[in-house]
Amino acid sequence: MIKPSSIKIMIVLIIGVMIPVISYTVFQFLQQDQNEHLIKTIYERQLNSILFSVNQDSWNQMLSWVSELQPLIRRAGPVPDANRTRRVRRFIAEHPPLHAVFLHGPSGCRFVYGNAVPSARDSASAQADSVRLSALAGSRTAEIRQMVQNARAGYMRPLIVPWQRAHENRKTLLVFSGDGDETLFGIVLNDIRFIDEIVARKFGEMNEGNFVFAVKEKGRDVFWYLPDSDEARPFEKRESLWVLPDLELLVKMTGTTLDELSGKRTRHNLIILLLVNGVLIAGVVNIWRAISKEIRLAQMKTDFVANVSHELRTPLALIRMHAETLELGRVQSKQKMMQYYRTILRESERLGGLIDNILDFSRLEYRNRDYPMESGDLEKLVREVMELHRLRRNGGSAPVRFETQPGMPPVRMNRESVRIALLNLLDNAVKFGGGGKSVRIGLKRDKNDAVLSVKDSGIGVPESEQKKIFEKFYRSANGLSQNRSGSGLGLAIVSHIMQLHSGRVTIRSKPGRGSTFSLHFPLGNSGGTTDV
């Protein structure tokens, strides 16, 4: 039966722990779509910031070339400055993504290429390029003016112009504000090499096996950079390349898509949440059980104290009363006197037994008792206990019979505690045995066990209580058994003792038809014949 205090604890646990956690779980389930969307947005932002970082790195690279070139192209003396040309040429040669550097002023336009001796094509280009550059400067004056103004305000942003010619690879002109009489200067980028060496290097740094990058022309399926092992899935994010604006950077995740990833993440979170719920519910149930058990135990202890004090008081009162009567010399007949002495003896023995039980129990409870095991003869032990029991009962009450199988093997046991166990069973059999009906002790071998049983024909134990009677302090609610003296410790002691023997105690019983309690001792190695 569940006690009201247990119900209170359960209510507190449900309201305090389970309802909040379960509500949170349900809330998370309902929010699943929103969570998925949120996770997807977070991943999208991550991809965007990766592309941003590639873009910024390329941009900074371009600016760093410009700032390194500026002191090199500043004129030291009157034109032409051969040293200057040599320095610039070396710089271009050392940086393959740079194709050429140009200077443009009112007096004309000059291109410097990487090669020491310009190729025939470069020489021809220089001529044509100067013309084109002058034309460009003439046609885009407003943009150039804006750029120069920005540069003076400290904001360096080049005018970016495609510079391709039919027979050449693609190139791009980055036009900056110049100083002195060369109003403009700039660099000609080799687009392909810029992608291969600057952008791809940054991809390599960012990759870490998690992302797939590409560079392609805007609006056309022409890829400038694409890893060999590309899977067919579409790219998740794209961003215009700042330095070469008609190209775009693309990125996706290796082996998965944003939808897959966010779905998986949400599912994982939910599974973890469910597991946490499971653990929590198991924890709450365990706590509840442990607390209920403690409450039951505390209740039993209170009952026990009341019980024991009553049990101790009854024999004590009898002893005292009889002793006082004897002392006052009120008992005249020798026969009556003997009867008084016997009562005193019986009651003091009963008192002793009860105290023994309580002490045995507390020793067993704290396991600090030494249990030396030795090989022993159960039959002999039974006969000793029967004798002891007879003396304790003063020869009266129910007759006890003993049947044994011949040739029983010795058993490993602690004689003292088996004696206590058997005495307890015997006491119970007599106590609950239906007044004077015989009690039978049996000893036999059953497979690998030696089985010692005590059978009575008394009130029996209902099935629902057959487990509980082995719990400490438990006494059957049955009115008949409540009328008998006892502490509710006897069978708990028996069960404990059998555990210490690696054995067990079992009961077969029907209310009104009697009970058989059996002690099973494993025979193991000391069991005479060795069963394999």
Q: Which residues bind ligand ADP (CB under 6 A)?
A: 424, 428-429, 432, 456, 458-461, 469, 474-476, 478, 481, 486-492, 515
Minimum CB distance to ligand ADP smaller for 392 or for 475: 475
The answer to whether residues 299 and 327 touch, using CB atoms and an 8 Å cutoff, is no
Nearest approach, Cβ of residue 388 and ligand ADP (Å): 17
The DSSP annotation for 400-449 comes to: EEEEE-TTPPPEEE-HHHHHHHHHHHHHHHHHTS-SS--EEEEEEEETTE
- Residue matched to tokens 């020869």: 395
The CB-of-494 to ligand ADP minimum distance in angstroms stands at: 7
Return the number of the residue (262 or 515) whose C-beta is nearest ligand ADP.
515
Strand ranges, E, within 58-205: 98-105, 108-113, 159-162, 171-177, 184-190
Residue with smaller CB distance to ligand ADP, 376 or 462? 462
Residues 408, 443 contacting (CB under 8 angstroms): yes
Nearest approach in angstroms of CB 386 to ligand ADP is: 17
Strands 411-413 and 449-455, by their bridges, are unpaired
**How far is it, in rounded angstroms, from Cα 97 to Cα 189?**
6
Residue closer to ligand ADP (CB basis): 304 or 521: 304
* β-pairing verdict for 374-376 and 223-225: unpaired
| Exposure string over 212-227, b if 16+ CB within 10 A, otherwise e | bbbbbeeeeeeebbee
Closest approach of ligand ADP to the CB of residue 459, in Å = 5
Closer by beta carbon to ligand ADP, 381 or else 461: 461
The token pair that represents 383 in the structure block: 């006969």
Question: Based on CB atoms, which residue is closest to ligand ADP, 177 or 515?
Answer: 515
Smallest gap from residue 491 Cβ to ligand ADP (A): 3
SS3 220: coil
Nearest distance in Å: CB 21, ligand ADP: 41
What are the structure tokens assigned to 511, written together? 């209310």
Q: What angle do the packed helices 334-366 and 415-431 form, to 10 degrees?
A: 120
The CB-of-398 to ligand ADP minimum distance in angstroms stands at 11
Q: Is 240 helix (H, G, I), strand (E, B) or coil?
A: strand
Give me the amino acid identity at 359. L
How many beta carbons lie within 10 A of that of residue 412, not counting itself? Answer: 19
Nearest-Å Rg of the Cα atoms of the chain is: 51
The answer to whether 453 and 418 have CB atoms below 8 angstroms apart is: no
Among candidate residues 482, 486, 409, the one with its CA nearest the CA of residue 451: 409
When the beta carbons of 61 and 509 are compared against ligand ADP, the nearer one is: 509
**C-beta of 296: minimal distance to ligand ADP in Å?**
15
Tokens coding 99: 């194709």
Name which of 97, 55, 54, 114 is nearest 194 in CA terms.
97
Q: What is the DSSP letter of 236?
A: S
Q: Please give the DSSP secondary-structure letter assigned to residue 468.
A: G
Number of Cβ atoms within 10 Å of the Cβ of 237 = 20
Closest distance of CB 423 from ligand ADP, Å: 11
Write down the least CB distance from residue 300 to ligand ADP, Å.
11
Tokens read off for 480 = 């008949």
The nearest distance, CB 381 to ligand ADP, in angstroms, is 20
Query: Least distance from C-beta 342 to ligand ADP, angstroms?
Result: 24
Question: For ligand ADP, which is the closer residue by CB, 433 or 527?
Answer: 433
Q: Which 3 state secondary structure label does DSSP give 458?
A: coil
Residue with Cβ nearer ligand ADP (250 or 469):
469
Three-state SS sequence of 169-208: CCEEEEEEECCCCCCEEEEEEEHHHHHHHHHHHHHHHHHC
